[in-house]
């Protein structure tokens, strides 16, 4: 039998190498900061760098030092200044450039800190094109500067009249974070969360003050964009704080925190609260309510402070099940359950108006659930018969091969028409990008009940494709991208889809899963160069750059863009604008204005505002809150 030639790969002692701290971070940045991204998503790496820097200042405040923090971002440069104790001057360089070095290993100094691994500012240093640290401590100061983790300046200690504290300055490395842009609203939400969780703390962002008197109660009042059915219930104990209410919206919406860290993927503490509220409500009313009826339309926030929290990744977005309660004697799940059972039961006995409102909401949810129960089964059978995964949905391989890829990697494009969906399908990255094809304009579902989701074939198929019937836990794609033509019809379809999400699945938008795909309006080229332009201003600049009489093509629809060209627009240079909800409007008022009976006003909006609001540091375009009035 013939022997196949097997190439030699030279696996010897020389093949084994050790990376130093900065090489490892730069080679495997995802291990330290999650995904990279360009700033269009709130969990992109540039926000993790900012957060890791601010966390050090927050830890100082928690320990009783420094009541205000200054954050400034200009032209991509970030400055964070606190007025805490300052890093011990002899350890400044080690704290930002030597892995597993920091004060947080001393549990007495930082008892309930987030940054326990001594990695945060090292990752910022290694992934920045410029990094500067200055510590001011007892009349002396120390400054060091770095470039991509390599030290470029090591100043000697000198005297100063500045107040104690630490200042970090950095510019993210654009070779790692391609075409990155800071979104002002993402940063503002981050800073609001910090002050909601740290009473007495003031943060100034580019001169704007962030301060909260009432903790999680303020958080809910700022973030709830629907009518509340009763005043926010606010429960506080040692190392635990909970606030919640029910609204007129569908779904469940949670804000959970551990030691000030926003655990966007929840975890044990959030799961314990969801269980505890059902158990407590059942015992209070002495009725075995369905859990979904109790939790439908709830908006809640929970914050816990514990020693040695166990997270499921370095980015600390989900609390692990092994975490113990602050007293160390019981699991955190039991601790949260006991707190909710005692405090909520007492509250409901003392506030019969709130108890009555909760009961009415549960009964309403129960009636609606039973109303649609009969059609859900038939609707799901229709979805299967429609051969969803072969006709309506061209899925990505992440969902049906044996190789595991995080959901963070996956995207679904929702488009209309065979030509547009065909172009995207041929151009997409098949491992992580899926395409869902609409058949014509979706139904305007504003004011309708969730029953329509199952009765309307398009909505039912879309819900099945996303797997969001029972909430976001099973959401199959991290990014849901609406890809419509840049014309009046395309904008109308965009609004109809956003209405569907906001009406029935608002948590998708609030959790920043919904985006608008920006495709070029013009192609300007000569024999040597091609430039794609996303605005008339870019078109004018391109003409000036390419010289006289270049060829100019105006793309009227996605179907006109060839698959070869499309691959460049949905690859690593993809331009996505997140759909954001304005704090100035409730979802009900927003939908009523744009999707209600005021048709002439809505038409004026569609025609006159195809480009939605700007809200970005450095005045670069990002999107939208369905536009503002």
* Alpha carbon 418 to its chain's center: 31
Query: Over pLDDT 70: what percentage of the chain?
Result: 81
**pLDDT on residue 440:** 81
Lowest mean pLDDT among 76-80, 93-97, 594-598: 594-598
21-210: what fold? Heat Shock Protein 90 (3.30.565)
Please determine, for residue 251, whether its predicted confidence score (pLDDT) is greater than 80: yes
Residue 330's φ and ψ, nearest 5 degrees, are -150, 160
Q: Quick: pLDDT tens for 508-534.
A: 988 889 999 988 888 999 989 999 888
Q: Quick: pLDDT tens for 106-133.
A: 444 445 555 544 468 898 999 999 999 9
pTM here is: 0.76
**What's the CA dihedral at 473, 477, 480, 485 to 10 degrees?**
-150
Give the mean pLDDT of the chain: 82
Q: Which residue has the higher pLDDT, 556 or 329?
A: 556
Beta bridge partners of 411: 433, 479
The Cα 319–Cα 264 span in angstroms is 10
Please determine, for residue 136, whether its predicted confidence score (pLDDT) is greater than 90: yes
pLDDT band at 560 (very low <50, low <70, confident <90, very high): confident
Helices (H), 9-63: 21-27, 30-33, 45-62
CATH number for the 386-519+557-608 domain, one of 3.40.50.670, 3.40.605.10, 3.30.1950.10, 3.40.50.80?
3.40.50.670
Lowest mean pLDDT among 116-120, 211-215, 501-505, 529-533: 116-120
Residue-range domain boundaries for the chain? 21-210, 216-367, 386-519+557-608, 522-554
Residue ranges of E strands in 239-286:
240-246, 253-258, 261-262
Q: Which residue has the higher pLDDT, 430 or 614?
A: 430
Q: Quick: pLDDT tens for 265-276.
A: 888 899 999 999
Distances (CA, A) of 252 to 183, 407, 482, 545: 26, 20, 23, 51
**pLDDT on residue 79:** 97
Distances (CA, A) of 121 to 80, 134, 247, 586, 620: 12, 13, 40, 38, 27
pLDDT band at 545 (very low <50, low <70, confident <90, very high): very high
Q: Which residue has the higher pLDDT, 220 or 605?
A: 220
Please determine, for residue 70, whether its predicted confidence score (pLDDT) is greater than 90: yes
**pLDDT on residue 315:** 59
Asked whether the domain spanning 386-519+557-608 has the same topology as the one spanning 216-367, the reply is no
pLDDT band at 259 (very low <50, low <70, confident <90, very high): confident
Q: Which residue has the tokens 């092994």?
A: 322
Mean pLDDT across 413-420: 84
Strands laid side by side in the 233-237 sheet: 233-237, 240-246, 298-304, 253-258, 261-262
**pLDDT on residue 623:** 43
The Cα 623–Cα 81 span in angstroms is 29
Please determine, for residue 411, whether its predicted confidence score (pLDDT) is greater than 90: yes
Lowest mean pLDDT among 498-507, 517-526, 594-603: 594-603
Mean pLDDT across 384-405: 62
Beta bridge partners of 69: 82, 203
Phi-psi region of 447 (alpha: psi -120 to 50; beta: other; left: phi over 0): left
Task: Tell me the CATH number for domain 216-367.
Answer: 3.30.230.10
pLDDT band at 365 (very low <50, low <70, confident <90, very high): very high
Tokens at 586, concatenated: 């409730």
Tokens at 130, concatenated: 């410029």
> What sign has the CA pseudo-torsion 306, 307, 310, 313?
positive
Q: Quick: pLDDT tens for 422-463.
A: 888 898 999 899 999 988 889 988 888 888 888 888 898 899
Lowest mean pLDDT among 127-141, 306-320, 395-409, 502-516: 395-409
**pLDDT on residue 622:** 38
- Residue 58 in contact with residue 194, Cβ under 8 Å? yes
pLDDT band at 233 (very low <50, low <70, confident <90, very high): very high
**What's the CA dihedral at 36, 398, 477, 184 to 10 degrees?**
10
Buried (b) or exposed (e) across 230-251, using 16+ Cβ within 10 A? bebbbbeeebbbbbbbbbebbb
Most confident by average pLDDT, 43-52, 344-353, 521-530: 344-353
Mean pLDDT across 159-183: 92
pLDDT band at 168 (very low <50, low <70, confident <90, very high): very high
């Amino acid at each position: 039998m013939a022997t196949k030639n097997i190439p030699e790969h030279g696996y010897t002692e020389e093949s084994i190498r050790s990376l130093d701290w900065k090489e490892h971070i730069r080679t495997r940045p995802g291990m330290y900061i999650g995904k990279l991204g360009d700033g269009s998503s709130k969990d992109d790496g540039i926000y993790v760098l900012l957060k890791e820097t601010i966390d050090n200042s927050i830890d100082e405040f928690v320990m009783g030092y420094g009541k205000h923090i200054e954050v400034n971002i200009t032209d991509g440069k970030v400055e964070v200044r606190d007025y805490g104790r300052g890093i011990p001057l002899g350890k400044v360089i080690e704290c930002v450039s030597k892995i597993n070095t920091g004060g947080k290993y001393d549990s007495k100094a930082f008892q309930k800190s987030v940054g326990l691994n001594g990695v945060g500012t090292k990752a910022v240093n290694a992934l920045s094109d410029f990094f500067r640290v200055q510590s001011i401590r007892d009349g002396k100061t120390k400054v060091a500067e770095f470039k991509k983790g390599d030290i470029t300046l090591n100043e000697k200690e000198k005297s100063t009249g500045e107040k104690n504290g630490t200042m970090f300055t950095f510019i993210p490395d654009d070779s790692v974070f391609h075409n990155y842009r800071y979104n002002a609203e993402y940063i503002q939400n981050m800073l609001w969360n910090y002050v909601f969780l740290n009473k007495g703390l003031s943060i100034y962002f580019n001169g704007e003050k962030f301060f909260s008197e009432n903790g999680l109660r303020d958080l809910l009042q700022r973030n709830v964009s629907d009518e509340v059915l009763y005043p926010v219930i606010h429960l506080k104990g040692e190392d635990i704080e909970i606030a919640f209410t029910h609204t007129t919206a569908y779904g469940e919406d949670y804000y959970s925190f551990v030691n000030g860290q926003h655990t966007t993927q929840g975890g044990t503490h959030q799961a314990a609260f969801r269980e505890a509220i059902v158990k407590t409500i059942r015992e209070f009313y002495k009725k075995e309510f369905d859990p979904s009826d109790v939790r439908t339309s709830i908006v809640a926030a929970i914050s816990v402070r514990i020693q040695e929290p166990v997270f499921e990744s370095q980015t600390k977005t989900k609390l692990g099940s092994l975490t113990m309660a602050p007293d160390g004697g019981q699991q955190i799940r039991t601790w949260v359950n006991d707190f909710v059972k005692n405090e909520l039961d007492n509250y409901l006995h003392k506030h019969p108006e709130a108890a009555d409102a909760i009961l009415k909401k549960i009964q309403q949810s129960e009636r609606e659930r039973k109303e649609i129960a009969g059609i859900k089964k038939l609707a799901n059978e229709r979805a299967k018969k429609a051969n969803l995964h072969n006709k309506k949905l061209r899925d990505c391989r992440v969902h049906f091969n044996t190789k595991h890829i995080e959901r963070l990697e996956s995207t679904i494009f929702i488009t209309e028409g065979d030509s547009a969906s065909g172009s995207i399908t041929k151009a997409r990255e098949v491992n992580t990008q899926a395409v869902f094809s609409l058949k014509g304009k979706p139904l305007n579902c504003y004011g309708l009940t969730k029953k329509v989701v199952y009765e309307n074939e398009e909505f039912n198929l879309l819900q099945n494709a996303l797997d969001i019937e029972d909430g976001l836990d099973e959401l199959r794609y991290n990014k849901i991208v609406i890809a419509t033509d840049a014309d009046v019809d395309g904008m109308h379809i965009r609004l109809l889809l956003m209405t569907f999400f906001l009406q029935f699945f608002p948590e998708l938008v609030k959790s920043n899963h919904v985006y608008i795909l920006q495709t070029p309006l013009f192609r300007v080229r000569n024999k040597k160069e091609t430039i794609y332009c996303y605005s008339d201003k870019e078109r004018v600049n391109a003409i000036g750059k390419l010289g006289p009489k270049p060829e100019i093509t105006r793309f009227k629809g996605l179907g006109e863009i060839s698959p070869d060209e499309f691959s460049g627009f949905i690859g690593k240079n993809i331009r996505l604008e997140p759909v954001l909800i304005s704090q100035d409007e409730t979802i009900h008022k927003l939908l009523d204005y744009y999707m209600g009976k005021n048709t002439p006003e809505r038409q004026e909006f569609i025609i006159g505002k195809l480009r939605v609001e700007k809200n970005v540091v450095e005045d670069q375009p990002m999107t939208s809150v369905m536009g503002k009035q």
